[in-house]
Amino acid sequence: MSSSISRQLIFWLAVPLMLLALGGALVHYFSNVAPGVIGSDHRLREATGALMAHVRVDAGIAGLDLAGSPPLPRTETIAWAVRDAHGRLVAGDARVAGAAPNDANAEVFSLGRFEGRIVRMLTTRFDTRAGVLILSAADLHPPTEPEARFGLMGTLLWDFVQLDITLVLVWVGIQLGLRPVKRLRDEIARRSPLDLRPIDESSVPREIAPVVITLNRLFALLRTSVQSQQQFIANTAHQLRTPITGMQAQLELLAAEPAAAPVRHRLATLQEAIRQLGHSANQLLTLARADPAVNIAAKNQTVQLDVIVREVVGRFIDRALGAGIDLGADVKSVSIEADPSLIDDLLSNLVDNALKYTPAGGAVTVTVDTLDGKATLIVEDTGPGIPAGERERVRQRFYRLPNSPGHGSGLGLAIVDEIARIYGATLTIDAGRNAIGTKVFVEFP
């Protein structure tokens, strides 16, 4: 699956921006929150140290000597309490209740509530001869740690809100910046395979201009290649048709000579073989011309289907009369965009096939009409027809129905199919009227 440039850009921007936001939060913490916490911890340790210095044991009973040095913590900045192992208050403020330390951890920092506000507290386990004492101290010095933490969380939240807004703006900017690429994509997508015009390089940004230049070079190479192939086909057609036509003329002259009477039947066979050779050569060249690779640069024009039909029927009328076949046309004025020579080849092959397989006394009708707004060309005959199971196979090159009359090459319908594909036309083979013969539809888009 192909990756998205915009998604990759968002990803590569989101990761460093997120790390930058976290880094900013850490800087804020260590520059604003950490000093306050460290200072609070220092004051609490000093307070608990002072309390330990005032502990006295008299007759196995622990107490607090309120006199002496160092001085006890000031109650306006430090609230404290001393309790025995059973939680009974020995001295200090009963409202101060810290977390109880265990044997593994004799010093515990925690958050507690004092006079309706949350304060930082230190609870210390202190062993004496009279037993264990629990010393708790609460720092009342502003700013307190909870407020600092709230400021940290607020800063972190705002940083991530800014990150989200930044990524949205970046995404919008990327989409706007990629519009020329999308326009180029749409322009190429709208083109048909036959359109090899160069893309206007002046209308694209510098960043994608190299791609457009490369595409234009490719189009130019394709045009040159197609023109060379077309020239080769034209030269080959000329080189093949000229000697074959000369051979046919010489054989006709030879067959007219009185001395050729004993071998006239052999000459007739040779004439038929050369005629068939000429027909096959023409079909092969037509098939080569109908190749989409050759016609990729074809210059289409408006073609009147009714005019093409009249010309093709006129060319075949003598052959139809000689075979005793009724060849007719029912046409309306319909036009399409195509190469006139290819449409002529398409219709000529359809009519040739129909005359070849229609017996004497039969009929071949060519119709031009519009169905559902689409130009339609129909050739119908009264021949033996094509079985339903063979209607796809007869489109293949060199395939002929079993027991087919004559010596055809099996290229007629293959040529028609190739030309139809060039113009996106639909080729349909069906039975004729009253299930007699064959009806071929070519529906142009």
Candidates 138, 109, 108; CA nearest to 125 is 108
The CATH H-level superfamily of 300-443 is: Histidine kinase-like ATPase, C-terminal domain (3.30.565.10)
Mean pLDDT along residues 376-384: 89
Candidates 134, 55, 142; CA nearest to 94 is 134
The pLDDT of residue 443 is above 80: yes
The confidence band for 324, taking pLDDT boundaries of 50, 70 and 90, is very high
Going through 71-144 in order, the beta strands assigned E by DSSP cover 78-84, 89-92, 107-114, 117-128, 131-139
Reported as type and span, the H/E element at residue 15 is: helix 5-28
Mean pLDDT along residues 33-42: 75
With beta carbons less than 8 A apart as the criterion, state whether 120 and 37 touch: yes
Query: 289 exposed, middle or buried (CB, 10 Å; 0-12, 13-18, 19+)?
Result: buried
With beta carbons less than 8 A apart as the criterion, state whether 306 and 342 touch: no
Residues making up the chain, counted from first to last = 445
The pLDDT of residue 1 is above 50: no
**Between 340-357 and 305-323, two packed helices, what is the crossing angle to 10 degrees?**
30
Residues 6+ apart with CB under 8 A from 212: 184, 199, 201, 204
**Radius of gyration of the chain, Cα coordinates, nearest whole angstrom:** 50
Please report the pLDDT score of residue 286 as a whole number: 67
Which tokens belong to 40? 């609070």
Mean pLDDT along residues 398-404: 66
Helix, strand, coil proportions of the chain in percent (round to 5)? Answer: 55, 20, 25
Q: Return d(Cα 296, Cα 275) in angstroms, integer.
A: 32
> What residue segments make up the domains of the chain, in order of their start?
5-150, 197-297, 300-443
Please report the pLDDT score of residue 52 as a whole number: 81
The pLDDT tens digits of the residues spanning 284-323 come to: 666 666 666 555 555 678 888 889 989 988 988 998 898 8
The pLDDT of residue 158 is above 50: yes
92 Ramachandran zone, left/alpha/beta (phi>0; psi -120 to 50): left
Find the Cα–Cα–Cα–Cα dihedral 105, 111, 113, 119, rounded to 10°.
120
DSSP 382: -
Mean pLDDT along residues 266-292: 71
